[in-house]
Amino acid sequence: MTKRRRFTSAFKKRVVFAVLRGDRTIQDLAACYEVHPSMISTWKRQAIEGMEDIFDSKNAGCQRDIDGELVIPPLSCNALLF
């Protein structure tokens, strides 16, 4: 019985960047990196979902409405003064 392979985050990042570049198919990359195509698709999906958190992290302290949209307070005249 073979042991389950573990991939480092650096390896996953390299594979996902290759997929996002779009110059090769997932099938080609799977053969090149010797991983299953579904694994590459999973890493790609996780990376794309994780990108949303990167851009939302700076807005973590902002209020959100019922639908989850950011509530941006109106500018006051004092905010326009430099």
Spatial separation of the C-alpha atoms in residues 60 and 56, rounded to whole Å: 7
The predicted pLDDT at position 82 comes to 46
The predicted pLDDT at position 49 comes to 85
Q: Which amino acid is residue 41, in one-letter code? A: S
Q: How many Cα atoms are found within 13 Å in the side-chain-facing hemisphere of 49? A: 6
The predicted pLDDT at position 70 comes to 61
The predicted pLDDT at position 1 comes to 74
b/e 46-80 (16+ beta carbons within 10 angstroms → b): ebeeeeeeeeeeeeeeeeeeeeeeeeeeeeeeeee
21-68 pLDDT per residue, tens: 999 999 999 999 999 999 999 999 999 888 877 666 555 556 666 666
